[in-house]
Each structure stands twice: as structure tokens, then as C-alpha cells.
Amino acid sequence: MKYLIIGAAVAVVLVLISAAKKPKNKKRSVPPKRPPESPAPAPAPPAPPKQEEAAEEPEISIPEAVEGKKLAYHYDDVSIIPAIGAAGIVQATVPLTFSEHQGTAYVLQRDRLIGNLKENRIAGMVRDWKKNGDPVLSYISRFSADNTSAEIAIFFYRDQARWVLERFAGDKQYKLTGKPDEFAGGYQPGDACSIEADPDKEDKYQVIHEGTRIGYLPAAALTYAEDQGISPEDLKVYIADVEYDDERERDIIHVYLSV
């Protein structure tokens, strides 16, 4: 602060002396003011990285029937145990086959081993289907690049009418009441159906085949469901027989029921 005060006093004296020497009425030139500089524009944000389009998964057409036998069951994500090095040879669109050896169901593709099924219900179904000579289709669902995990899809086909007759041989048949919906058709022995409560009729349960009603459960069927301790809608139902009634000009349908 000391030096600042001294400097200020000396400056005052110099200013006074300088002012005395200057001619009167002489204006000091003032440099023109520079316009304020406009701020520089903000840099544009970097463009987002271009995303690579995901490779489309191949589409595989699965038939509703093979060798005249209808699709009965299918499972999309069945885990298998990959074989060593299989990840480098598998192809998504090439069908798989199965081979049984010493109690193990092996999975093959073009006769090359790619893995084996885990011992569970699905492996048992594959054995049963092969034993009965019924078709089985299978394809790769997912195969990890590091060869540590894999899943396959399996489609089981069978002669549904034959299976139903063998499965329910000697069982009681239930005659449906009412008549099939005018749009119903294509039903035949062995076909599986579903049961739904009729929203417009109390205590009436309609049997549905491929989205259309083919009749109603009779009172005896409701008693059967009650004896089993389940709702009629939880019953499994299969068409046992279809006869055409000439007098009524409509089909008479009998079904098998199970829990």
C-alpha cells in the first residue's frame, strides 16, 4: 500500500504540469470504440456412430403334417450338451437327426456329431417317437460361439387318430350336445380340442376346434369333471368319432375326456 500511495501522488503532480503546457480548447482524440466481438459458435456435437444392421435370422418353414401325420408337440428351446468343436460346423437351416447309443440320445447334423440331449422327458419322447416310427423334425435354435451352450427346436408328428384310439381304448365316449357352428369344419377323430365357458349361457361349456364351436359338453361330462375335482375348462378333450345324422342334417360328435 505504501508504494501505491506514493505513486499516486507523483502521478498527480505530473498531470498538473502537463495540463499547464497544453494549449487551451484542444480536444483529445478518442479512438473509436471497437464493436464487441460475437462469441464463437459452439462446435457441433460429433455424429453418432453408425449402427450396423443386425443380421436377419433365417426363416424355416415347419410343415403342419409329415407323411400324413399331424404336428402333435413342439419345443423351441431344448438345451443340449455341445460336442467339442461343434460351434464351427453347425448350420441353422440344416435339419438335425437323433441317434441312440448306450442310453444316450445323440444329436447329429449331416451325420456329424454336434451334441447330445440331456436325460429328461424330451429325450424320452424322442426315443418313443423313433420306436413308433413317427416323424421328428429338429433345427438349431442357438449355438454359442464359445461352444459352451446350445439349444434346439424339436417338432413331433404322429398319427393322431391312431394315438387317440390306442390311448383311450375302452374309455367312455361323451356325445356333444347342440350342433356345430356353421363355420366349423375339418374336424376328425384324434383332433385335440379345448373347452370354454359360454358367456351367454349359464353352466354351459362349449367344445372348440380350431377357433369354432363344434358342440357343448353333456351333463355327464360336467359330472366327470366334478368327480376329478377340476373345472370343465381344464379337461383335455379329443374327438373320438364323427357321424353324420341324415335326419338332423348335421354331424354327431363323440369325444374322449381326460385330466
Over residues 150-208, the pLDDT tens digits come to: 999 999 999 999 999 999 999 999 999 999 998 898 999 999 999 999 999 999 999 99
63-81, pLDDT tens digit by residue? 999 999 999 999 999 999 9
Mean pLDDT of 20-45: 56
In the chain, % of residues over pLDDT 90: 73
Residue corresponding to grid cell 440344416: 94
Give the end-to-end CA distance of the chain in Å, rounded to a whole number: 104
CATH number, domain 65-158: 3.30.70.2330
Phi, psi of 109, deg, nearest 5: -135, 115
81 class by beta-carbon count within 10 Å (0-12 exposed, 13-18 middle, 19+ buried) = middle
Fold matches, 65-158 and 171-258: yes
pLDDT bin (cut points 50, 70, 90) of residue 32 is low
pTM: predicted TM-score of the whole model, two decimal places: 0.65
Domain range list for the chain? 65-158, 171-258
Distance CA 203, CA 223 (A): 12
- CATH assignment of 171-258, among 2.20.180, 1.10.357, 3.30.70, 3.40.50: 3.30.70
Mean pLDDT of the chain: 85
- CA neighbor of 215 nearest in space, from 237, 230, 234: 237
Burial of 95 (0-12, 13-18, 19+ CB in 10 A): middle
φ, ψ dihedrals at 95, nearest 5°: -65, 160
Mean pLDDT for the stretch of residues 17-46? 55
